[in-house]
Amino acid sequence: MPRYFKGPRLTQKETGGRTLRPIFFALKHSNSEAFKTLFKEGMALVEATAAYLDGQGRAESKALARPIALAYATESMRLTTRLMQIASWLLLRRAVNEGELTSAQAMSERHRVRLQRQDMISPPDVIAALPPAFVEFCIRSIRLQDRVLHLDRSIAASREAEPPLAPQPVAMQVARLQAAFAPPEGRRSS
- Residue 120 identity: M
What does DSSP assign to residue 78? Answer: H
Binning pLDDT at 50, 70 and 90, where does residue 6 land?
A: very low
Nearest to 138 by CA among 158, 118, 123: 118
pLDDT in the model for residue 23: 47
Where along the chain do its domains lie? 25-162
User: Is residue 30 classed as helix, strand or coil in its secondary structure?
Assistant: coil
Fold adopted by 25-162: Helicase, Ruva Protein; domain 3 (1.10.8)
Lowest mean pLDDT among 31-35, 111-115, 129-133, 178-182: 111-115
Instruction: Give pLDDT tens digits for 101-138.
Output: 887 777 777 667 777 888 999 999 999 999 999 999 99
> Does the pLDDT of residue 145 top 90, yes or no?
yes
Structure-model confidence comparison of residues 32 and 135, the more confident one: 135
pLDDT one-digit tens code per residue, 146-177: 999 998 888 777 766 555 555 667 777 877 88
Chain mean pLDDT for the chain: 80
State if pTM tops 0.85: no
> What pLDDT shows up at residue 46?
97
Distance from C-alpha of 136 to C-alpha of 75, rounded to nearest angstrom: 12
Q: Which of helix, strand or coil describes residue 20?
A: coil
- The pLDDT assigned to 189 comes to 53
What is the spatial distance between Cα 129 and Cα 37, in angstroms, rounded to a whole number?
Answer: 33
Is pLDDT at 24 greater than 50 in this prediction? no
